[in-house]
Amino acid sequence: MANIQISDALLVKDYVSGDERALATLIKRHESKIYGFIYSKISDRDVSNDIFQDTFIKVIKTLKTSSYNEEGKFLPWVMRIAHNLIIDHFRKAKKMPLFRETEEFSIFSIMSDDSLTIENKIIAEQVEMDIRKLIEGLPADQKEVLTMRMYQDISFKEISELTGVSINTALGRMRYALMNLRKIIEKNQIVLTN
């Protein structure tokens, strides 16, 4: 018995009239060509599946709104939709490049988390606290200059104006403050590293 194949145009007509089986036949008939076409451009199975799905969602919506006219053929029309979606995919990919993990390339080589771990954070806070305690032990004039410079980010020129001493004196006080801090640290063998 001869196997008579119903034309695409007739299947489309049946589908628009509400025969859901017609869509299954159309997909089965053309899935290989359409998917193969998409895969030939994309070379990624998952993305190709997504584009195939989006293509047929457009097909379904267009047919259900009865805005499809059988001027051209069904397959070239679907291929054109797929082609446009492929172009959209590459446009998006260009805007937001996708990095895939391979044997030679690890995503972590360009991505790192520089923030401190909880342990390092606690250590940093401890060091900060120790330094503040050490500063408290400095003579008042040295403490004043060091605090203004390091914690308030005031220039030596401004410090000299605010404290009523010359820049050289302010610089000298800073120098002595640092030397004294070093001495205390060495003497007490305080570890101030993270």
Contacts with other proteins by CB under 8 A lie at: 20, 23-24, 27-28, 31-32, 35-37, 39-40, 43, 48-49, 52-53, 56-57, 60-61, 64-65
Question: b/e per residue, 161-176, with b = 16+ CB within 10 A?
Answer: eeeebeeebbbebbeb
Asked whether the beta carbons of 55 and 49 are under 8 A apart, the reply is no
Give DSSP secondary structure letters for 72-140: S-HHHHHHHHHHHHHHHHHHHHHHSPPP---SS--GGGT----SPPHHHHHHHHHHHHHHHHHHHTS-H
Q: Is the CB of 52 or the CB of 74 nearer to other proteins?
A: 52
State which residue, 39 or 176, has the beta carbon closest to other proteins.
39
- Is 28 or 100 the residue whose CB approaches other proteins more closely? 28
Cα 127 to Cα 44, 96, 133, 140, 174, distances in angstroms:
51, 41, 10, 22, 20
Q: Give least dist CB 74 to other proteins, A.
A: 15
Nearer to other proteins, 54 or 130 (CB): 54
Specify the residue, 57 or 122, whose C-beta has the smaller distance to other proteins. 57
CB of 26 to other proteins, least distance (A): 10
CB of 104 to other proteins, least distance (A): 21
Cβ 61 to other proteins, closest distance in Å?
A: 7
Residue where the block lists tokens 């060509």: 33
> CB of residue 62 vs other proteins: minimum separation in angstroms?
10
Token code pair at residue 28:
């089965």
